[in-house]
Structure 1
Amino acid sequence: MPEVIFSGPGGRLEGRFHQSATRGAPIAIVLHPHPQFGGTMNNQIVYHLYYAFAERGFSVLRFNFRGVGRSQGMFDHGAGELSDAAAALDWAQAVNPEARACWIAGVSFGSWIGMQLLMRRPEIEGFVSVAPPANRFDYSFLAPCPSSGLFVHGDIDRVAPLKEVTGLIEKLKTQKGITIEHAVVKGANHFFENKIDPLIIEVSNYLDKRLGNPPRIAIPARGD
């Protein structure tokens, strides 16, 4: 996938971008796990989410938060990373001015950032939140949650225990006008070690349902 460099509030940001061949295709932004615990845009879950969207016709961007890889700046405990995510969406929209919709996907820390971006950008119509650490970060800003989406968690996640996330999800499910779905991957820990395939199956099934089973698009550079 083509490497891109775009301007962020803390300096240049490094990313990978897949441009859909379809005019007006929707946009997806994929956000990686915690930068201080090894999270990068090349995380395997991020990588597979990226291609799940690309194969369904999206223009997709994944990128390194500030201070990760070749992205400039320093870790900013979430505030700066949220600004980075907003800049990433701005960049993707500038490249795709006719995009008819936007989605956000995030993994762990990236989920927390993504859901905050969702609250600030009304054009985001769907989300995928993988292993949201509701016990470590405050998700109370989701009041109400403005868009329908999917939460996915492992049942043996000890970093962000399932029971902590279930309370958040049950609260969100009571809101009118949106539909919140929750998939639990059996035998999966916080990092979905040896369980990435069933994780991506859950995400793919959800996307197909929301998008009306779009035809698969072969991505030649799948191995990048």
Structure 2
Amino acid sequence: MFASAASYLLIAAAALQPVFAGVYITAPVAGTKAIGGQVLEVKWADDGKTPTVGSIGPCSVDIYTGSVNNQVKLQNLAASVDVSKTSSISATIDPSIGQDDSHYFVRFTSLSLKSESNPQYPYQAFSAMFPISSMTGQFNATVLAAIDASNATSTAPVSAASSGKATAGLAASASASKSGASASASASGKSTSAGVPLADVVPAGLLLGAAGFVSYLVL
């Protein structure tokens, strides 16, 4: 019975692999120790798979928090950056957007390319979750509920990413299939959020590691 369950997990992990295409985010990673009021450097590369960064084109780059199905935009880092013409940006973290927490992540949202699986939504790519300290703001009830949803319902890979155990340098890059538009939100209230598939926020390294571990158990 355990072997059957393990086999299912292995198949599920393998099925998620094709979504890791396009923008390959190399910073920030789970081990990044960002500080409010200081510069955050965001780096990426073309992973050599479809879609290419050339087809993704200009993107909005933002700091988010929340969970797999409930994300809240906190700060815009770049309104429009062509990911095919540069591979990094730097911006100062506004310390008032939230509190000291480990549930921050960077999201790329293409301004032109749509998701291959759900063309009504834009292409999106996500960094691993990482902590930001020396923050001066406070999360409102909506943001805290979104983060609590991550703590309460996330799978093991997401939990590992949240706790800083994700493989450094590997972040999920994917065409979001159900994310919708997310409105800009401050820590004080009136935030809106949007859900995304699990595959879009789980670091690729964790899925590969999980697949290998499950293969060992099955054998």
Could you say whether these structures have the same fold, taking a TM-score greater than 0.5 normalized by the shorter chain as the test?
A: no
Q: Which has the higher strand share?
A: 2
TM-score by length of 2: 0.28
TM-score by length of 1: 0.28
